Amino acid sequence: MEKKVRLRFAPSPTGGLHMGGVRTALFSYLFAKKHGGDFVLRIEDTDQTRYVNGAEEYIINALKWCGIEPNEGVGFGDGPYAPYRQSERKDLGIYKKYSDQLIASGHAYVAFDTSEELDEMRKRLEAAKVVAPQYNAITRQNMRNSLTLPEDEVKKLMDEGAPYVVRLKVPRNEEIRFHDIIRGWVTVNSSQVDDKVLLKSDGMPTYHLAHIVDDIEMKISHAVRGEEWLPSAPSHILIYRYLGLENDMPKLAHLPLILKPDGNGKLSKRDKSGLPMFPINWHDERTGESYIGYKESGFTADAFINMLALLGWNPGDNREIMSKEELIANFSFERVNKSGAKFDPEKTKWFNQQYLRMQTDEQLAASVTPLLEGKGITKDRAFVQEFCRLVKEKAHFVTEFYDLGSYFFIAPTQYDEKVLAKKWNENSKATYTKLSEKLNSLESWSTTSIHDLFAAAEPELGKIDMQLVRVLTTGVAGGAQLFDMLALLGKEEVLTRLKNALTTLS
Ligand code: GLU
């Protein structure tokens, strides 16, 4: 029988979740949802030395903002496999149980080497020009472990409470072959695989053992992770094999890297392309570093995940704008590329612009209002809504709205010099004073009535220069459609601004 589809996202709380991590979560989520399966959040916190305060909460909040919500796991409610933090799962005794099983079957052993002894080994191997020194089938023979020490000595050391780790006993020169849904069949020789530590001296499992035990115990059907884990996969295959679980292990999918915009190397969290690398603001308590988020930069979550989904995946045609439901319906690992995906800042902004355009003016006003309030501007909702309608065409982000139309809120004190130099002449003052008088007598103030008034005034005033009117009322040479803009500013404001301008200019 086919296993129920169950995918997990298993971050370590060692820092903020950057966009690469979010993509891993997203792909797992899309696949799980497509197949009516479960999506689980497991926190892999066995490395206590790398634990960062606030990271776990950040991961939960980031997933929530993105709309990639697990239906089971830390922060999202317990399912049948609680607890979901590995530090708590340790108390279930499961990691030790599997580790003991590997020792009993002769596939793992106990090693007493101190860090000084390990250092010495590395130096010795480096001096002998060994390219990648490692603890393996050959080098373990010269180290202090249960394979080299007499049995009674091992027992004595254990009884004395000497610190030890448990290591996987990797065979020499054996082909390890495994299947990856994205990469196909991969073969690695075991001589490139080291005797990984499974259980540390503090009794905590390492990632290698813990994630295997948990994937099995939590009945995970697919393990999706970044390409950086591919080199560890052969060790994992051996662990499953030695535990007799190779047929029960999850299918593997290693996602391609996200590359820098120029394609040279992995995208880093300190990338300088000007766009955020984190979904929401992240402050690292340990290093004091702060990173701005997509959310706080004015991106919508839908645009962000749509962009991320297409970093390394495509639906098989040239569709780009896809809702979460469409992504779910179309997602498959077969369409994930093997090679790295270049991050494209311009395209990322474009995505947000497309989503911005899909919003109603009402929705935009709801996002823009608090931003205006933050600048001390309070306007009624109808005003903000019309303001949004007038400036949105040029915007990629709601955060740009204010700058695109600050003149709606602040009367000009300076007037575009270039336009004035070209268009302001000795007749202008008289012409625009008269226009101002006509506007003053206009009873109903609307886009159409202002438009009609301009048309009717021309025979008497001569050509009215629209750009000049714009400069006199806003100070700047370009912006929202003129009559709409004047209508929204309101009669009183327009007349005051014209008066100020005509007094300033001679
Ligand atoms: N804890 C690992 C990480 O932080 C998870 C790798 C995996 O998904 O197996 O990336």
Confidence of residue 1 (pLDDT cuts 50, 70, 90): low
Which residues are identified as catalytic? 269
Q: For residue range 349-391, list pLDDT tens digits in order.
A: 999 999 999 999 999 999 999 999 999 999 999 999 999 999 9
Task: Choose among 368, 416, 375, 422: nearest CA to 392.
Answer: 368
Report CA(410)–ligand 1 centroid distance (Å). Answer: 51
Report CA(154)–ligand 1 centroid distance (Å). Answer: 33
pLDDT for residue 341 is more than 90: yes
**What is the per-residue DSSP string for 172-216?**
SS-EEEEEETTTEEEEEEGGG----EEE-TTSPBPHHHHHHHHHH
Protein fold of 93-211: Glutamyl-tRNA Synthetase; domain 3 (3.90.800)
Residue type for position 476: V
Which residue's alpha carbon is at the smallest distance from atom 10 of ligand 1? 11
Q: Which atom of ligand 1 is nearest to the CA of 228?
A: 10
Among 225, 237, 257, name the best residue to mutate to test ligand 1's pocket (greatest count of ligand atoms within 8 A of Cβ). Answer: 225
Which residue's alpha carbon is at the smallest distance from atom 8 of ligand 1? 225
Cβ count within 10 A of residue 503: 9
Q: For residue range 270-306, list pLDDT tens digits in order.
A: 898 889 999 999 999 999 999 999 999 989 999 999 9
pLDDT mean over 60-74: 98
Q: Which atom of ligand 1 is nearest to the CA of 211?
A: 9
pLDDT at 436: 97
Q: Which atom of ligand 1 is nearest to the CA of 9?
A: 8
Would you state the torsion angle of the CA atoms of residues 214, 218, 220, 226, taken in this order, to the nearest 10 degrees? -40
* Residue 47 in contact with ligand 1 by CB distance below 6 A: no
* Residue 40 in contact with ligand 1 by CB distance below 6 A: no
Q: Which atom of ligand 1 is nearest to the CA of 14?
A: 4
What 3-state class would DSSP assign to 167? strand
Q: What is the mean pLDDT of the chain?
A: 96
Distance CA 400, CA 397 (A): 5
Which residue's alpha carbon is at the smallest distance from atom 3 of ligand 1? 11
pLDDT mean over 315-327: 97
Instruction: Write the Ramachandran bin of 329: left for phi over 0, alpha for psi from -120 to 50, otherwise beta.
Output: alpha
Q: For residue range 210-268, list pLDDT tens digits in order.
A: 999 999 999 999 999 999 999 999 999 999 999 999 999 999 999 999 999 999 999 99
Residue 489 contacts by C-beta under 8 Å, 6 or more apart in sequence?
408, 473, 497
3-state helix vs strand vs coil in the chain, percent to 5: 50, 10, 40
Cβ count within 10 A of residue 360: 11
* Residue 45 in contact with ligand 1 by CB distance below 6 A: no
Report CA(495)–ligand 1 centroid distance (Å). Answer: 64
What 3-state class would DSSP assign to 283? strand
pLDDT at 410: 97
* Residue 43 in contact with ligand 1 by CB distance below 6 A: no
pLDDT for residue 99 is more than 90: yes
Cβ count within 10 A of residue 420: 16
* Residue 368 in contact with ligand 1 by CB distance below 6 A: no
Among 12, 45, 56, 59, name the best residue to mutate to test ligand 1's pocket (greatest count of ligand atoms within 8 A of Cβ). Answer: 12
pLDDT at 217: 98
* Residue 169 in contact with ligand 1 by CB distance below 6 A: no
Considering the domain 359-407 in this protein, what is its CATH number? 1.10.8
Percent of the chain with pLDDT over 70: 100
pLDDT at 129: 94
Cβ-count burial 210-236 (b if 16+ within 10 Å, e if not): bbbbbbbebebbbbbbbbebbebbbbb
* Residue 229 in contact with ligand 1 by CB distance below 6 A: yes
Cis peptide before 83 (omega within 30 of 0): yes
Angle, helix 428-440 to helix 466-474, in steps of 10 degrees: 80
Among 207, 230, 236, 254, name the best residue to mutate to test ligand 1's pocket (greatest count of ligand atoms within 8 A of Cβ). Answer: 207
Residue 320 contacts by C-beta under 8 Å, 6 or more apart in sequence?
306, 310, 351
| Structure-token pair, residue 105 | 């079957």
Residue 100 contacts by C-beta under 8 Å, 6 or more apart in sequence?
none
Report CA(12)–ligand 1 centroid distance (Å). Answer: 7
Report CA(106)–ligand 1 centroid distance (Å). Answer: 27
Beta carbons of 42 and 225 less than 8 angstroms apart: no
Distance CA 500, CA 494 (A): 10
Considering the domain 417-505 in this protein, what is its CATH number? 1.10.10.350
Residue 15 contacts by C-beta under 8 Å, 6 or more apart in sequence?
52, 55, 282, 284
Among 8, 9, 14, 44, name the best residue to mutate to test ligand 1's pocket (greatest count of ligand atoms within 8 A of Cβ). Answer: 44
Report CA(416)–ligand 1 centroid distance (Å). Answer: 57
CA-CA-CA-CA torsion sign (157, 163, 168, 169): negative
pLDDT at 196: 98
Q: Which atom of ligand 1 is nearest to the CA of 8?
A: 8
Percent of the chain with pLDDT over 90: 96
Beta carbons of 102 and 243 less than 8 angstroms apart: yes
Instruction: Indicate the domain borders of the chain.
Output: 93-211, 359-407, 417-505
Tell whether pTM > 0.85. yes
Report CA(117)–ligand 1 centroid distance (Å). Answer: 29
